[in-house]
Amino acid sequence: MRFASLARRVVDAGNCRSYSGHGGQLRTALFFPGHGVQRVGMTAQWLEAFPGTAKPFLEETDEILGCSLSRIIAEGPNSKLDASTNAQPAIMATSVMIMRILESEFSFKTKQEIDVTLGHSLGEYAALISSGHLEYKDALKMVRGRAAIMEECSMKAKEETGDRYGMVALVCVPERLENLVTSIHEFLGYGSDGVKDDSSHVPAIEQVQIANINSSNQIVLSGSLPRIRQLLIQIKEFGGHDPRAVEIKSDSPFHNPIMMPAKDYMRRALAKTNIRFPGDMPCVSNVSGRPFGSKHDLIEKLSGQAVNTVRWWDSIKYLHQEAGVRRWLGVGPGKVGRNLVGKEVGRVQSKTGGVWAITDPKEVETTLQDFLDKAAAG
């Protein structure tokens, strides 16, 4: 085991903490990134720094999938890695690999140091693995199968309409976010709860939806890009809103009724999967912004995530304002997740709290040391 001094600090910090299970106040959250953070070579530095853990883990991943995903991650090209069937399992695998490295190389005790997990969109699967609800092998297969069906859904929608499909982020001042969301729902014909009763039967070209509510000033729309542009014109002319719009690097409209076949696939797959409930700690659902309440609840909400809005901002507000979380540890490629969390809870470190991200092997030791010092302080 490498970095023995840090490993001792991990154990000592864990021994200083007192728990009566995870039913009391939650102090430390572990979070994971979602789709879009993939890049060719994102495992290379981890393989070089920690070959004893990273290499067998990636070999295990390839064996589970029956293909060399590790080579696609290492060599690309970008067009191949960016395909959902590769990008989604690659992101999840990289996130879980880093957790394995923390646990095996640094003796990080996830069950002792972490009180609750969550993941942004795709990141929810890594969160459920880390919380002990799902096994890595099962989750990896489901993510690959789900991604394949999502690709098929996108291709079918394009063939039916001739439109381009994707996602567009909207940024506005925080004071106008609630009104912006309401205006969008009104123009799309949603009820007061933001739900269409029969959205699965609406033609693909009309299926525009708020895919993510990411923060106090950012939401994401998914669906037909021409239809989204038309919607933006309407809310500007008739709703008095003029948010900054940025097209996201994605050729699929995730979290949209177009993805109903992916929801059906996940419900069937989860029904046959060994789900531990309760897990080692709570995991927060993207759909509700609250911890999963039962095995049935997990199956319904995790499968429903494919077609429902990701309520990331609600999740962060719940953990920060209601549950009392003060320490946030992000693990996985890219720093988008850390930025989204930090923007809402504050990036400035306090005596016992803060937001950390482990995305690079060169950062691990110093990041963990600071994190553990704050954990030991309260």
How large is the average pLDDT for residues 241-260? 92
Q: pLDDT tens-digit profile of 259-316?
A: 999 999 999 999 999 999 999 999 999 999 999 999 999 999 999 999 999 999 999 9
Distance in angstroms (rounded) separating the CA atoms of residues 247 and 258: 19
Amino acid 15: pLDDT: 39
Domains of the chain and any CATH numbers: 4-153+258-376 (3.40.366.10), 165-250 (3.30.70.250)
Count the alpha carbons within 13 Å of 223 in the hemisphere toward its beta carbon.
27
Amino acid 192: pLDDT: 44
Q: pLDDT tens-digit profile of 139-193?
A: 999 999 999 999 999 999 999 999 999 999 999 999 999 999 999 988 888 644 5
Distance in angstroms (rounded) separating the CA atoms of residues 217 and 96: 30
Amino acid 293: pLDDT: 98
Query: Which residues does 88 contact at the CB level (< 8 Å), separation at least 6?
Result: 35, 122, 143, 144, 146, 147
Distance in angstroms (rounded) separating the CA atoms of residues 366 and 76: 31
Amino acid 143: pLDDT: 98
Amino acid 17: pLDDT: 39
Judged against a pLDDT cut of 80, whether residue 202 lies above it is answered with: no
Percentage of the residues of the chain whose pLDDT score is greater than 90: 76
Distance in angstroms (rounded) separating the CA atoms of residues 80 and 76: 6
How large is the average pLDDT for residues 42-68? 98
Q: Is 265:302 a contact under the CB 8 Å cutoff?
A: no
Judged against a pLDDT cut of 60, whether residue 194 lies above it is answered with: no
Amino acid 338: pLDDT: 79
Amino acid 14: pLDDT: 44
Tell me the two tokens of residue 52: 């004893």
For the chain, how far is it from start to end, CA to CA, in angstroms?
A: 28
- Maximum separation of any 2 CA atoms in the chain, in Å: 63
Give me the sign of the Cα torsion angle 249, 254, 257, 261. positive
Q: What is the residue type of 20?
A: S
Among the residue ranges 38-52, 77-91, 185-199, 364-378, the one predicted with the least confidence is: 185-199
Confidence of residue 50 (pLDDT cuts 50, 70, 90): very high
